[in-house]
Amino acid sequence: MCTDADYALLIRTLGKNKMPDVALQLFLKMKSEGFVPSCTTLSALMLCYADSGLFLHAQAMWDEIINSSFVPEIEVVSDLLDAYGKMGCFDEVHRVLHELTSRDLNMCPEIYSLAISCFGKYGQLAMMEATVREMVASGFKVDSFSGNAFVTYYSLFGSLTEMETAYGRLKRSRILIEKDAIRAMAFAYISKRRFYKLGEFLRDVGLGRRNTGNLLWNFLLLSYAANFRMKSMQREFLGMLDAGFSPDLTTFNIRALAFSRMSMFWDLHVSVEHMKHAKVVPDLVTYGCIVDAYLNRRLGRNLSFALSNMDIDGFPSVSTDRMVFEVFGKGDFHSSSEVLLESKRKREWTYSKLIAIYLKKQYRSNQIFWNY
């Protein structure tokens, strides 16, 4: 026999599958069997309606919950606000916010944070700003979650000036900027090709921070590699080692991509040897750096020697930080290989097989014999 929790789970599943009519029938069946709907069941039906775009029905269920002694769970409120946000119903987000904050002071900080994130996630920066001011005016402090969300969404939807202003406010609040906000700001600088500003920002955050791993150093190396400032990139790489940080796959591939594009074969091979010594496993990007560098200089006959110390029978994968591709794009071998890897043909791909197919393609295109 179904319990109240079972009914709630079934109703939520029906909601996610856009079957509100079936969910309502199940809800009525539940009541006919003598079950008294709990907050969990009412919330499930409300979210079912919201997910299906039936906001008048969802509002009716919300009113029933809010006018009772029930207290909705924070996860339910989060899902409801997100459903309203997806459909652009931001007045409803305001309504839910004000109804809850006027009722339960203990939930206020969490509710404000959810509303701030909801407005920011859908690019409503003015509403997000107003909600932050209202939160502070009501006597609640901006916490790390809300402060970092504030910076993140200005990075995604605002101008660089607005983003930098938001970051300055975060610093003055003595709130530490976290990984997601760092990545969002870095992406904003990269998308505008403001690599010098990116470097300034990373130094301001503090390259010595340990809780971000190699993120700050990798972005700094990327800021130099983007403009092929090779000496500066190498200097900072040594600075990274001196500071006690161990290069990861993204670190090595940022350098490898720069070496490959500049046809710096010696540096490329030294970097690959360093990877091997550091026990960092190359990925498709690494192999692509070598293949593209040699073929671009019509040195295909030397490719087998260049790859002789690498595991060409390994399974191809990509583990490099995607932000690197925002700067360098994807090399020709990388792009061609991904088409094969994503094709419907099921094959046990290896780097060796991908390289062989790519070389045949190049031979047909250029009518040049590559000895591999």
User: Where in the sequence is the domain holding 343, given as residue range(s)?
Assistant: 270-372
pLDDT at 365: 61
Q: Which residues of 201-237 are buried (b: 16+ CB within 10 A; e: fewer)?
A: bbeebebeeeebebbbbbbbbbbbbbeeebebbeebb
Q: Which of 70, 102, 125 is the last residue of a domain?
A: 70
* Residue 166 within a domain: no
Cα separation of 208 and 255, whole Å? 20
User: Alpha-carbon distance 253 to 274, whole Å?
Assistant: 12
**Residue 30 counted as domain residue:** yes
Q: What distances in angstroms separate CA 157 from CA 81, 152, 163, 184, 192, one per listed residue?
A: 20, 9, 9, 10, 13
Average pLDDT over the chain, rounded to an integer: 91
Among the three residues 17, 36, 70, which one is the final residue of a domain in this structure?
A: 70
Please write down the long-range contacts of 166-171, taking CB distance under 8 Å and 24 or more positions apart. 167/201
The tally of domains found in the chain comes to 2
User: Considering 70, 93, 111, which residue would you say is the last residue of a domain?
Assistant: 70
Q: Is residue 372 part of a domain?
A: yes
Tell me the average confidence (pLDDT) per consecutive run of 10 residues in the chain, 372 residues long: 74 84 85 82 89 89 86 90 92 92 82 95 96 93 94 97 97 95 98 97 96 97 97 97 97 97 96 96 97 91 88 94 96 94 80 92 60 46
pLDDT 10s digits, 260-292: 999 999 999 999 999 999 999 999 999 999 999
What is the pLDDT, as a whole number, of residue 372? 45
301 domain-assigned = yes
Considering the domain boundaries, does residue 162 fall inside one? no
pLDDT of residue 305: 86
The verdict on residue 109 lying in a domain is: no
Q: Does the residue 199 lie in any domain?
A: no
Q: At 266, which amino acid appears?
A: W
* Structure tokens belonging to residue 258: 């720069």
251 is a domain residue: no
Contact status, residue 352 vs residue 365, Cβ threshold 8 Å: no
In contact, 271 and 256? CB cutoff 8 Å: yes
